[in-house]
Amino acid sequence: MGDHHHGPAKGLSRWLFTTNHKDIGTMYLWFSFAMFILGGSFAMIIRAELFQPGMQLVDPAFFNQMTTLHGLVMVFGAIMPSFVGLANWMIPMMIGAPDMALPRMNNWSFWILPPTFLLLASTLFMEGGAPAFGWTFYAPLSTTYAPPSVTFFIFSVHVLGISSIMGSINIIATVMNMRAPGMTYMKMPLFVWTWLITAFLLVAVMPVLAGAVTMMLMDIHFGMSFFSAAGGGDPVLFQHIFWFFGHPEVYIIILPAFGVVSQIIPTFSRKPLFGYDSMVYATASIAFLSFIVWAHHMYTVGMPIAGELFFMYATMLIAVPTGVKVFNWISTMWRGALTFETPMMFSLGFLVLFTIGGFTGLMLSIAPADFQYHDSYFVVAHFHYVMVAGAVFSMTAAVYYWLPKWCGRMYNETMGQTHFWISFIGFNLTFFPQHFVGLAGMPRRIPDYALQFADFNMLSSIGAFIYGLSQILFLYNVIATIVAGKPTSEEKTWDGAEGLEWTVATPAPYHTFETPPAVR
C-alpha cells in the first residue's frame, strides 16, 4: 500500500501482528478478492457443465459440491469479508477515529478466516467429497445423508460466525464510542449507518446459524434428533432456524452496499444525498422486517395458511422502505451535475439491476405465484441480481471510489469504464435468460437439463465466462494502479466528495485522526 510515513513494521510480521485498521482492511479486501476468484471458478465449472445438455465435464455429485461451495465461498468468503474490509478502512476515517475500538480483536477476526477457508476447501479432497447439500444445507441431506466432511463444514461455519461476530462487535464499539466530537449519529455518513445496523443484525443472527450447525453436530455425532422425525424431531425445524438466520443474512449483505451507493451517488451528482433521515429510517425498517419474513423461503414446505399469509404480507412490506431508498438515490441525481466516472457507472449499474432484482423479489413474495417460482432458476436469477449486481457491483464501485485515497494513485479510467461495460453486459447475459428458463420450469441445482432450456443456458454460460474474465481486468487495473498509477496527492480525489475521509492527506497516512477533527 504505497509509502507510509511512519508506523508499519517491515515484512511478514507487519501483516501477522498488525492492529492497524488500514492494514487489516487491506488484508480483508485482498482475501475477499481471492475468495471471489475461488468462488467464481466454482461458478465457471458449473456454467461450463451447463453449457449444453448432457453430462460433459463433471459428475453429478461433484456438481453438487460445486454449487454448495460456490454459495458458501461467495457469501461467507467474498461478499461479507469484503464489506468488513471496507468498514475497517473507512469507518474510522469517516467518523474521525484514530483506529477501530478493539484493534487486537480486529487482528484475530481476520486471521481466523484464511485457515477456515483452507479447511473448507480441503473438504474437496476428503473421502466422500466436499459438502454437497447446497449452501442452505437442509436436513436430513446435510445430517443423516451427508458426506463425512460435514463435520469440518460445521467447524468452519462456527469459526466464520465467530469471526463475523468479532468484526461486528468491533464496528459497533467503534461507532458508539470513537466518533469525533460533534459527529452525532444523524451526521454520520450513510455507509457508517448501514454498517452499524448490519453489525447489529450480525450479532443477532450469526449465533442462530451457530445454533443450527451445533444441532446438526449433535444429530450426527451425539445421537440427538433435532432434525430427525424418528427421534421426535423435525427436518422442517432446521429450515425455520436456518432462514431465521438466512433472511437477515441477505440484508447483512445488501445494507452496506446501500451505504456505499449512498456515498458515491451524491459525490458524482455534486449534490447532497436526498432524504438522509428517511434513508436511515428505511435501513432500520428493512433490518427490523428482516426478522419477521424468514418463512417466505418456505412457502412450499406446507405451512398453515395463516402463517403463509402473514409471511407474504410482511415480505411485501419490505418493498416500501426499499422503494424509498431507490427513489432517494434518483432524487439525489435529479438536477445535480452528473459525471460518469467508473465508481458512478458501477453505482448506476447497481441502481438499475438491483431494482430489477427488487421487482423479482416482490414477485417472489407473492405466495401463490411462488408455488411456481420456488426452487426454479427464476429464484437463481433473482438473488444474483441482488447479490452480484447489488453487493458485488457496489463493492467494485467502492474500490474504484476510494482506491486513489488508499494508495495515492489514480486508476486508469478507460480500463475502469471497459471493466464496467464488460461486467454489465456479461452479468445480464448470464442472469437475464435465467428468468426465462426458471419461468419455463427449470429447477435450480441440477447438473443437466431438458432440451428446451438449451439455448438460454448456453447464452447464460457465455455471459458467465465474459463476466468472469472481466474480473481479471479488474485485478489488473487495481494492481497497475497500486504499482504504477498516476500519483495524486489531492485530498479530494473527486470534486463533489464530502466527508472526513477526504480531509486527510492522499494517500491516507498510516495513522489518521490521532487528534480528533472538529465536526461542524
| Minimum CB–partner distance for residue 130 and another protein (Å) | 13
251 among known catalytic residues: yes
41 among known catalytic residues: no
| Residue from the set 204, 388, 391, 392 that interacts with another protein by CB under 8 A | 204
The reply to whether 212 sits near another protein by the rule CB under 8 A is yes
What cell does 92 get?
474510522
- State the sign of the Cα–Cα–Cα–Cα dihedral 303, 307, 311, 313: positive
C-beta closer to another protein: residue 126 or 169: 169
Instruction: Identify which range of 368-376, 480-488, 497-505, 512-520 contacts another protein by CB under 8 A.
Output: 368-376
**Within 10 Å of residue 104's Cβ, how many Cβ atoms?**
11
| Residue from the set 294, 350, 385, 449 that interacts with another protein by CB under 8 A | 449
Residues 113-172 that bind another protein (CB under 8 A): 132-134, 138, 140-141, 144-145, 165, 168-170, 172
Is residue 171 within 8 Å of residue 194, measured between CB atoms?
no
Instruction: Identify which range of 40-48, 188-196, 392-400, 452-460 contacts another protein by CB under 8 A.
Output: 452-460
Is residue 104 within 8 Å of residue 510, measured between CB atoms?
no
406 among known catalytic residues: no
Please state, in angstroms and as integers, the Cα–Cα distance from residue 336 to each residue in 187, 379, 493, following that order.
Answer: 22, 36, 19
Residues 168-197 that bind another protein (CB under 8 A): 168-170, 172-174, 176-178
Is residue 19 within 8 Å of residue 27, measured between CB atoms?
no
Residues 21-60 that bind another protein (CB under 8 A): 53-56, 60
Task: Give the span between the Cα atoms of 212 and 206, in whole angstroms.
Answer: 10
297 among known catalytic residues: yes
269 among known catalytic residues: no
**DSSP letters of 362-386?**
HHHHSHHHHHHHTTBHHHHHHHHHH
243 among known catalytic residues: no
The reply to whether 206 sits near another protein by the rule CB under 8 A is yes
Angle at 286 (CA atoms; ends 280, 287), nearest 5 degrees: 90
The reply to whether 229 sits near another protein by the rule CB under 8 A is yes
| Minimum CB–partner distance for residue 386 and another protein (Å) | 15
| Minimum CB–partner distance for residue 96 and another protein (Å) | 15
Q: What are phi and psi of 443, to 5 degrees?
A: -70, 155
Task: Give the span between the Cα atoms of 16 and 19, in whole angstroms.
Answer: 9
Task: Give the span between the Cα atoms of 39 and 120, in whole angstroms.
Answer: 12
Task: Give the span between the Cα atoms of 471 and 36, in whole angstroms.
Answer: 9
Instruction: Give me the catalytic one of 444, 445, 492, 511.
Output: 444
Task: Give the span between the Cα atoms of 258 and 395, in whole angstroms.
Answer: 10
The reply to whether 456 sits near another protein by the rule CB under 8 A is yes
Buried b / exposed e across 476-504, counting CB within 10 Å, b at 16+? ebbeebbeebeeeeeebbbebbbbbbbeb
The reply to whether 17 sits near another protein by the rule CB under 8 A is no
C-beta closer to another protein: residue 29 or 250: 250
| Residue from the set 421, 472, 475, 518 that interacts with another protein by CB under 8 A | 421
Instruction: Identify which range of 20-28, 115-123, 301-309, 479-487 contacts another protein by CB under 8 A.
Output: 301-309
99 among known catalytic residues: yes
Task: Supply the residues annotated as catalytic.
Answer: 70, 99, 135, 163-164, 247, 249, 251, 262, 296-297, 322, 325, 444
